[in-house]
Structure 1
Amino acid sequence: MREVMSEIVLYDYWRSSASYRVRIALGLLGLPYRTVPVDLLAGSHKITAHFERNPQGLVPALEIDGVMMTQSVSIIEYLDETRLGQGLLPAEPLARQRVRALSHAIAMDIHPVCNLGVVRHVMDMAVAHGEDGDAARSEWMAKYIGSGLAGFDAMLAQSGTPSQDAFCHGDRPSMADICLIPQLYNARRWNVSFAHLPRICAIEQRCNAMDAFADAHPDQCPR
C-alpha cells in the first residue's frame, strides 16, 4: 500500500459522469478529499490552468500521492492497486476481466457519445439543417443510452454472473457499479427509461442505499 503524503484534490464538475465515478470510488475507500469545482458550462475546463492539470481539457483531474491523474477508469484502477483489500476490482483474473468489460461498456461505449461536447455538436448540426436542437438531443440520448443499458443488462445475464449477485459482480460494489450509477443518473436526466431492466434497477437501489454512492450524487456536490 502506498502511503498518502498529501491532500487529495478532485477537480470536479458536479454533473460529470466521470467525476461522479471518482467521487464514488473515493467514498468507498474512505479517502477524504477537497473538491475544486470546474464549471464546464462556463468554459472553465478550457482555461490554461486547467489544461495544465488535464491536457485534454476534461474532468476529472485528481491530485493524489503527489501526482495529477486523469481518466476516471484509470484512476479507479490505480486506487484499487494502491489501496489494497478494497475490492474495486476482484483479485481473480477472469472476474477482474468481467468487471472491466462491464465498466468499459459504459465508460467507453455509452459515455463518450453522450458527453457535453458531442451532444452540443449534434444539436448544432440539427439547427444548421433547420431542425429542433432539443429534439435531436433527446432522440440521440434515447438511442445511445437506451441501447447501451440494454446491452449492459444482457452482459449481466451472461453465464458466470449468478442471478443472486447483489451488485454487478458479487456481493459488494465494484468498478462496474461505480460506472453504472452515474449513467443511470444521466438516463433519468434525459428521460430514458430503464424500468424494463429490473436487474439494473435492483442494483441501483442497493448502491444508492450506501453512503459512498449517496454522498457522491450530483445534488450533494459543490457547483
Structure 2
Amino acid sequence: MRILVVEDEVKTADYLRKGLSESGYRVEVALNGLDGQQLIQTQAFDLIILDVMLPGLDGWQLLQNIRQTSQTPVLFLTARDAVEDRVKGLELGADDYLVKPFSYAELLARVRTLLRRGPPRESAEFQVADLQLDLLRRQVTRQGERINLTNKEFALLHLLMSREGEVLSRAFIAAQVWQMNFDSDTNVVDVAIRRLRAKVDDPYPQKLIHTVRGMGYLLGEQP
C-alpha cells in the first residue's frame, strides 16, 4: 500500500514517514501543496494524508483538485479544529478528519480503516457510447466491429475508459501507461493519443477522445 503525506512541518512529516513505514506502508512525503499535486498527478496512491495549512497550495484547494480526477481516500491531519473546518473538509470530499496533536495509534487505526475499504472492484468490461472494451478478452469493438490495438494502445484506452469523464494529465497518463516520469519535451502521450484516435474515433461520426487545453485528455460523450 502506498501512502502520500502532504505536510509542511518537517518534524511531523518525518515522524509520519517513519511510523507508517515501520507499519508496513510505502510512504512518499511532499512538504508543500504544489509538490503534493505533482506527485498525485504522476503516481498512484492508496491513501493521501493531507494538512490544511500548506504553502503554495493549501489543503482545501489540493483536495478540490484531487476530487476532479480521483476518488483516492483522503485523511485530513491538521491543527484546524473548529467544527466548521471539519464540516468543510468532509463536504469537499475528505474521507476522515483528525486534529493535531494526535495519537499515532489512532492515526494508524484510521489509516487501516480507510485502506480496508479499498477501491471499488474494477469491472472487466467498459462501454462508452458504442465503444466497448473487454479487459479479460483484451478485445475492443465499436459499432460491433473489432478494433486491433497494440498493447500500449489497449492500456491507454483502458485507462481513459476506466476514468470516463475525468481529465487525465499527460504526466498521469505517462506514469500509468509507460511507468515513466513525464518530460514536457517528450510527446509520447500526444503521439499515442493521435494513433488511438485514428483507430477508435476517426472512422466514426461521434468523437469520444477529447483534448482539454492546458490540462490533458478525457474520454466521454460530449453534449
Shorter chain as normaliser: what TM range? under 0.3
Larger radius of gyration: 2
Task: Select the structure that is richer in strand.
Answer: 2
